[in-house]
Amino acid sequence: MEYIRITNDNMAELRALHISYKQEIGEEIPTEENFDSLSAAIKKGQIIFYGCADEGRLIACCSITPTYSTFNYQTGGVFEDFYIAPEYRHKGIARQLVRFAYRESGAGSLTVGCADCDIKMYQSLGFTVPLGNLLAFEG
């Protein structure tokens, strides 16, 4: 297994993982315009994707959106888009991918918003500091 930073060079594989991720959680499949927007955001460094490849094939991904956090008064990141192909789950890839993304991002802390059913999973991966509830505003 190789842990990598995903760039637009990997967009076809990232697209496939992202579609599988959205299908699994019951969200709408991204449009071509969505992927164009994502590609532009990756190019500008607004979002950074990390992944795991097996024999050159991307089998897992996550993203970190850089922020500044007053939680610890340094660079932070919002952790999202966490997906591992089903046949690769329960093999330690999740833990290694989170650690790799954290180290490579240079963030002093990562935050994640998740469904109640995913809390124990994220806690087992090291997200252990409760920061209240995360809500989104979409005016």
Of the two residues 12 and 71, the one the predictor is more confident about is: 12
Residues ≥6 apart with Cβ < 8 Å to 97 = 3, 50, 51, 52, 60, 62, 82, 84
pTM: 0.90
pLDDT at residue number 83: 94
Residue 15 has pLDDT above 90, yes or no: yes
The token duo for 87 is 């046949």
Confidence label for 137 from pLDDT (cuts 50, 70 and 90): low
- The CATH code that applies to domain 2-124 is 3.40.630.30
Write out pLDDT tens, residues 63-99.
999 998 887 888 999 999 999 999 999 999 999 999 9
